[in-house]
Amino acid sequence: MKNDKAYRLSFTEKAKALVSQMTLNEKIGLMAGDETVASSMGGGSYNVRPYTAGGNERLGVPQLKFCDGPRGCVSGRSTCFPVAMARGATFDPDLEERVGQAIAKEIRANGGNFFGGVCLNVPYHPGAGRSQEVYGEDPRHIAKMGAALIRGVQKHNVVACIKHFAFNSMENARFYVNVTADKRTEREIYLYQFKKCVEAGAGAVMSAYNRYAGHFCGSNRYLLRDVLKGEWDFDGFVISDFFFGTHSTAKCIDAGLDVEMHFRKYYNRAFIKAALKTGKIKEEQIDEAALRIVRTLLAFSSSPEECDYPPELIACNEHIALAREVAEKSVTLVKNEGLLPLDRAKHRRIALVGDLCDTENIGDHGSSMVRPPYIVTLRQAIERDYPDVKFDYIPTGKVRDFVSVVKNADAVIVMCGCDHGDEGEFIFTIGGDRKDLGIHKNEVEMVRLAGSLNPNVAAVVTGGNMIRVHEWKDSVSAILFAYYPGMEGGSALADVLFGKVNPGGKLPFVVGQRDEDFPRLNWNAPNVRYGYYHGYQKLDKEQIPCDYPYGFGLSYTKTVLSDIALSYVDENEAVFSVTVTNEGDREGSETPQLYIGFSGSAVDRPVRTLVDFGRVYLSPHESRTVRLCVKKADLAYFDETANAFREEDVRYTAYVGTDEQSAAKHGVDFRFDPPES
């Protein structure tokens, strides 16, 4: 019900009645966080409890109680799930909805009712520092996974807030950079997933720090009033990003920013009353903000409860098991020359190489930081769960001191990549955007040296977005992307490496060969312009080879796709079916993906664009049919002259495969025509 706009709007009259009884001071009181000072960002006391805002005890209006995300509830000692990029690699919206439910339960158990962790910003460049908070590089994939998270979170009467609206894909310059784009790029690439998640029922939106088209997003009337509340008819309320998300009183209120978080810098009584007195804003705008806030909080607080939310839910066994399941299903195997899974009878002596094998590496230490009760590293997991396997741990840079150990090992596991110091929310000297998309130079040397000493090397790569592997991939027999796998990441990785778990994750980004293959970007620039093409669509368009395509991932079993066919089409929708068969002797999964190409379009189009996907889990020798759908409206282009989306009656080609490039081998031409009567 909370995802149903009509349900929320049914509280309009009650909300109006309550707002009409409020004094001006009480209405102003709804519009900002309750903190009296700005607590420091990152570490310390920041985010250890929900941040409250507004509310009206006299009239029974509940407070907004904000908890951040997206890899778990940041308050208390909560469950730390894999980062959103890892969850994007599962390509499993049903699993993501379960994650949303678990996070919401822990927010409720921590005393919160608002989740600020549905991050939808498309990374224009894979070095974007907070990429780990997003599901991948494709807006349609982001939209589908984000909608699933919203459904799960709001099932438990927690308001799901989508962020950062909009164009917030640079970290170092986020407080001042001005982003521009043409209207097609704006609507089809950078606003698409926000619109879809508004349609999915998100109850709140957080504005971004940066400027768009010359105006800070928190005071950007075009984004907030014209598009979000106007064209999209959004019924919820808009909050600012913390500390620096507001730059004025009158401009922000006039633009449609309803709540300043998380303390009163510009939305205090004196400033708002002064703006009213001078006519820069009208009290009707205060009333509108109050109505949106009250209506949304009433709708969520009045809905039936799904269950009780005692403190015992926080980091409970069920949620920790889910975090481990998600980590297992996210691990993405991109190369395997017969080494994996490791055989405990054959591979009895292992060399664990690299500091990250024994580092608690769960991602960013900024506002998304979760403080779980414990974290399992790969070294700890092997020691605990595989006691019959003997291993030697060799820190990064020490391989030359242990040449004989590496050479004589039955197998070598090298762990490399990023940690919170390399990427994430930019706080003084840590985090920020990545200037180099590869691993550290000393890690390149480590991997190459290990590979020269032993033919049986598996490399595990951690990080929040694409990491270049081109210069060392031929030195190893296997490569896995682990992303930031959460508190049970070490357990999941050990089980994948030793074959207890069959990997089935798919790359939510393309793995390029050179940094130059991606858009040129100065991370500290005061002005940037985002182009239409990025990621796999840019490489396709420019015919640039990649090492591993978007949507790619291997398994320990063999799956095949067959009987790809158009099963239904009318003037609005086309449905395709594909049979997925597990021909192997062990359980596994596959993710058929539907891409669309265009013939005769009036505008420049991608070679192929993802429109749907569906992960299916199969027993040995089992077959299942998967339905993949595309709506004509979702293939419309934005006509800048008409300032509207335009659907085309052209020939389309449907491509179905297990990744973006394999899909090119299976093309089915079709048109959106009404069925014959």
Residue 73 backbone class (left: φ over 0; alpha: ψ -120 to 50; beta: rest): beta
Which phi-psi region, left, alpha or beta, contains residue 293 (left: φ > 0; alpha: ψ -120 to 50)?
alpha
Measure the CA–CA gap between 8 and 6, rounded to whole angstroms: 5
What tokens does 587 get? 């359980």
**Contact indicator for 78, 72 with CB cutoff of 8 Å:** yes
With contact defined as beta carbons under 8 Å apart, do 484 and 130 qualify? no
Per the CB < 8 A criterion, the answer to whether 350 and 413 are in contact is yes
Sequence-distant (≥ 6) Cβ neighbours of residue 278 within 8 angstroms = none
DSSP string over 456-502: -EEEEEE-SS--B-TTTGGG-SEEEE--S--TTHHHHHHHHHTTSS-
Q: How many whole angstroms from its chain centre is CA 109?
A: 24
Active site residue 241: yes
Give the C-alpha distances (Å, rounded to integers) separating 469 from 363, 438, 515: 20, 7, 11
Distance of alpha carbon 259 from alpha carbon 206, whole angstroms: 9
The CA-based diameter of the chain, rounded to the nearest angstrom, is 81
Q: Kindly state the tokens that stand for 96.
A: 């993501």
Nearest in space to 490 (alpha carbons), one of 386, 627, 409: 386
Comparing CA positions, the residue from 212, 165, 489 lying closest to residue 325 is 489
CB-based burial of residue 271 (10 Å sphere; 0-12 exposed, 13-18 middle, 19+ buried)? middle
How would you classify the pairing of strands 390-394 and 349-353?
A: parallel
Length of the chain: 677
Partners of 628 in beta bridges: 576
CA distances from 561 to 153, 365, 609, 628, 660 (A): 34, 42, 20, 13, 14
Answer for the pair 319, 313: CB distance below 8 angstroms, yes or no: yes
* Percentage helix, strand, coil for the chain under 3-state DSSP, each rounded to 5: 30, 25, 45
Cis peptide before 70 (omega within 30 of 0): yes
- Residue of 502, 518, 506 lying closest to 481 (CA atoms): 506
**How far is the CA of 155 from the CAs of 152, 296, 639, in angstroms?**
5, 14, 37
Q: Are 295 and 287 in contact (CB under 8 A)?
A: no
d(CA 27, CA 291): 9
Which single residue is written with the structure tokens 């919820």?
236
Active-site position among 138, 241, 254, 634 = 241
Phi-psi region of 44 (alpha: psi -120 to 50; beta: other; left: phi over 0): left
**Which residues, 6 or more positions from 554, have their beta carbon under 8 angstroms from its beta carbon?**
333, 334, 335, 336, 503
> What tokens appear for 465 in the block?
């977005």
Q: Which residues are catalytic?
A: 241
